[in-house]
Amino acid sequence: MTKTITLSQGNGGEENNELIKKIFFEHFGNPTLLKCEDSAIIGSMAVTTDSFTVKPIFFNGGDIGKLAVCGTCNDLAMMGARPKYLTCSFIIEEGFSVESLEKIVLSMKKELCINGAQIITGDTKVVPKNALDGIFINTTGIGEVEMQNISSNSISTDDLIIVSGDIGRHGACIFAQREGIDIKSALQSDCASLWLVVEELIKNDIKITAMRDATRGGLSAVLNEWAKQSNICIEVEEKAVPISKEVQGICELLGFEAYNLANEGTFALAVKKEDAQKALEILKKFEICKNAQIIAKVSNEYSQKVVLNNEWGSKRFLDMPTGELLPRIC
């Protein structure tokens, strides 16, 4: 552990996990927290909390307000819970535009309607100019569990892994816009609410073992967390992973790996083999999931590892992201 906090400790990767385990789990640890799920399950309810500091505040495909509601509601959805109630706290810098604030709030209102949720309490703080960068938002979500026993600690060789769409678009979009990269394409964040998709899977009795939205740390972080939590090996077929040409181009230009880039409307599912094809058909009915693919199987080949198989027959480990990839991504 470092003696002071670094940006890499907020990236959703190896350093972030170390900070959580050695500080927060060490002092706050309890059976519910140590399950490391997207939301805590308390009886028939799911609870989650998140903070949003994205830069830029407005980006192609959304803004910090849309991101806040999508991110919180999606964390509930990943545990099979229907989003119901949110709390919301705003920390606003002195001098921030009231017009921009209202635009952010209207984005939040739209996503709340999509999820069928409502904000029931909140807080507002204003800090002096230069004390923060515009606006930060914190949200807590409460949802009603409609499918029990979804857990990233229960994945087995009976499961296949599906990704709901092409990966890395949020991270690539934010980086390009932040750095002023003028790309002649329609690249935008995949920021979207996922409950309606999850609800359809549940209605069709898909046997879901685990779900997780691939935010900070991207798909590689999700798969590595699952491999460790369930003590399994996940074997990914590289050619099956959907990556857009725009995202691939940015990765090649800047030396990134799409597997590590954040997503805000794309999630991974572990489903029973016999239901995988049906689940894929359901996902593809939704525009945001039109590029869904079965990408991996679960094995005991290696302990707690993710293996990437390429089309030429070779393989390599897909490790947990490390270092300062893209801070302030969500």
Residue ranges of the domains in the chain?
36-145, 159-317
What is the per-residue pLDDT for 31?
94
pLDDT in tens, the chain (330 residues): 889 999 889 888 899 999 999 999 999 999 999 999 999 999 999 999 999 999 999 999 999 999 999 999 999 999 999 999 999 999 999 999 999 999 999 999 999 999 999 999 999 999 999 999 999 999 999 999 999 999 999 999 999 999 999 999 999 999 989 888 776 778 999 999 999 999 999 999 999 999 999 999 999 999 999 999 999 999 999 999 999 999 999 999 888 899 999 999 999 999 999 999 999 999 999 999 999 999 999 999 999 999 999 988 899 999 998 887 778 899
What is the torsional sign of CA 37, 38, 41, 42?
A: positive
Question: What is the CATH architecture assignment of 159-317?
Answer: Alpha-Beta Complex (3.90)
What is the per-residue pLDDT for 180?
80
What is the per-residue pLDDT for 327?
84
CATH of domain 36-145: 3.30.1330.10
pTM flag (> 0.85): yes
Which of 168, 162, 166 lies closest to 258, judged by CA? 168
H or E segment and range at residue 142:
strand 135-145
The terminus-to-terminus CA distance of the chain in angstroms comes to 24
What three-state secondary structure class fits 163?
strand
